[in-house]
């Protein structure tokens, strides 16, 4: 998707195979974890990203830049824009492929400033899969799904087992998350 892509994906890949129970086109995706900085509704200065399935390999997410997200006066902080893409790309991988995966590598190109008050439409596409490696990229467009491209990103997600989260994260919170998302099949 990114027009800066050179050799992307960087390895030979297979076409992504969406999960048979992946949400259909037009589905608005819910918050995956209420304490998630990217989408959670219990994080005061979080990004509160909202995502909708566009087709079986594309998810469109929106991120509205608020004053808490500033770097320079009136402009979004670049690191937070990267975080927005991490969330949007991760949501694309998790919801369409329905596998637990973590970001292994994320690169971001900042093409034009993103002002406070604007909404970034992040159009993310699954590009290919090579074993545990999932390649995904996105364009961030200003104020409309067909607005000018302000930010682009490409990422590698790596599929992990549930033990990744159990060993390194908060096992109790993970169990509670699993109870709320029986369809994810992540119950330890």
Residues that bind ligand 3IX (CB under 6 A): 32, 38, 86-87, 90-91, 94-95, 98, 100, 102-105, 131-133, 156, 158, 160, 165, 184, 186
Nearest Cα neighbor of 105 from 116, 124, 91, 90 is 90
With respect to ligand 3IX, which residue has the nearer C-beta, 116 or 162?
A: 162
With respect to ligand 3IX, which residue has the nearer C-beta, 45 or 113?
A: 45
As measured in angstroms, the least distance from the Cβ of 165 to ligand 3IX is 5
Rg (CA), the chain: 16
- CA 134 to chain CA centroid, Å, is 13
Pairing state between β 149-159 and 101-110: antiparallel
With respect to ligand 3IX, which residue has the nearer C-beta, 2 or 95?
A: 95
With respect to ligand 3IX, which residue has the nearer C-beta, 16 or 38?
A: 38
As measured in angstroms, the least distance from the Cβ of 3 to ligand 3IX is 22
- DSSP label at 68? G
As measured in angstroms, the least distance from the Cβ of 147 to ligand 3IX is 23
As measured in angstroms, the least distance from the Cβ of 148 to ligand 3IX is 26
Q: Which residue is nearest to ligand 3IX (CB)?
A: 90
Contacts 24+ apart (CB under 8 A), 160-169: 160/100, 160/101, 160/102, 160/132, 161/100, 162/100, 162/186, 162/188, 164/100, 164/102, 165/100
């Amino acid at each position: 998707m990114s027009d800066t892509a050179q050799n992307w994906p960087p390895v030979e890949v297979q076409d992504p195979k969406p999960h048979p129970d992946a949400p259909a086109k037009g589905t608005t995706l819910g918050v995956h974890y209420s304490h998630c900085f990217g989408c959670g509704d219990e994080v005061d200065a979080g990004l509160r990203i909202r995502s909708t399935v566009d087709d079986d390999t594309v998810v469109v997410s929106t991120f509205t830049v608020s004053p808490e997200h500033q770097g320079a006066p009136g402009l979004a902080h670049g690191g937070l824009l990267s975080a927005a893409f991490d969330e949007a790309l991760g949501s694309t991988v998790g919801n369409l492929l329905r596998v637990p995966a973590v970001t292994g590598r994320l690169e971001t190109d900042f093409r034009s400033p993103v002002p406070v008050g604007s909404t970034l439409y992040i159009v993310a596409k699954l590009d290919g899969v090579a074993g545990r490696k999932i390649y995904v990229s996105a364009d961030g467009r200003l104020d409309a799904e067909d607005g000018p491209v302000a930010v682009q990103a490409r990422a590698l997600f790596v599929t992990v087992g549930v033990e990744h989260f159990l060993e390194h994260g908060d096992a109790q919170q993970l169990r509670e998350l699993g109870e709320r998302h029986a369809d994810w099949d992540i119950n330890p």
